[in-house]
């Protein structure tokens, strides 16, 4: 009887320890998606406007990068080659290279500082969807 009781205690302790480790692992694994969700959760709708041989968003002027995201993220309806054009405070325009972004979330630009003014150009015509920046 003593042996059974001791065995049950040891097995119970082992099960509780394993369960605690599983819970700790789960909490760590979900920490990263929460940060991504807060960025993508701030997404706005976009709809491009034709300008010559490409389309752009916004239709004119620029938008300003926020502290919501470190990158400029796009999820279009059709998929397109996209580039981000920055408007530095010193004047002029500087565009990054074209990147294909499909119909899932994709990066138009990375490591964009808060307060940076930019607009997006779409090589493949009209598109609409969501943008987070």
The tens digit of pLDDT for each residue in 50-104 reads 999 999 999 999 999 999 999 999 999 999 999 999 999 999 999 999 999 999 9
pLDDT at 21: 43
pLDDT at 67: 94
pLDDT value at 108 more than 90: yes
For residue 38, name the pLDDT band (cuts at 50, 70, 90).
Answer: confident
Report DSSP letters for 79-93, one per residue: -EEEEEEE--TTSS-
Between CA 88 and CA 33 the distance in angstroms is 32
Tell me whether strands 63-64 and 117-122 are parallel, antiparallel or unpaired.
Answer: antiparallel
Pair of tokens at residue 95 = 């565009």
Identify each DSSP E strand in the chain by its residue range: 44-47, 49-51, 54-57, 63-64, 72-76, 80-86, 94-95, 99-101, 106-109, 117-122, 128-132
Mean of all residue pLDDT scores within the chain: 83
Between CA 11 and CA 7 the distance in angstroms is 6
| DSSP at 60 | S
For residue 41, name the pLDDT band (cuts at 50, 70, 90).
Answer: very high
Radius of gyration of the chain (CA): 24
Between CA 45 and CA 106 the distance in angstroms is 15
């Amino acid at each position: 009887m003593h042996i059974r009781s001791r065995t049950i205690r040891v097995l119970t302790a082992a099960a509780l320890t394993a369960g605690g480790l599983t819970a700790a692992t789960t909490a760590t694994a979900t920490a990263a998606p929460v940060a991504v969700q807060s960025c993508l959760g701030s997404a706005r709708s976009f709809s491009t406007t034709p300008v010559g041989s490409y389309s752009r968003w916004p239709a004119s002027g620029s938008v300003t990068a926020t502290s919501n995201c470190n990158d400029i993220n796009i999820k279009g309806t059709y998929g397109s080659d996209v580039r981000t054009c920055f408007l530095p405070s010193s004047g002029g325009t500087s565009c990054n290279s074209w990147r294909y972004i499909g119909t899932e979330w994709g990066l138009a630009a990375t490591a964009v500082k808060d307060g940076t003014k930019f607009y997006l150009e779409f090589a493949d015509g009209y598109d609409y969807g969501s943008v987070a920046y």
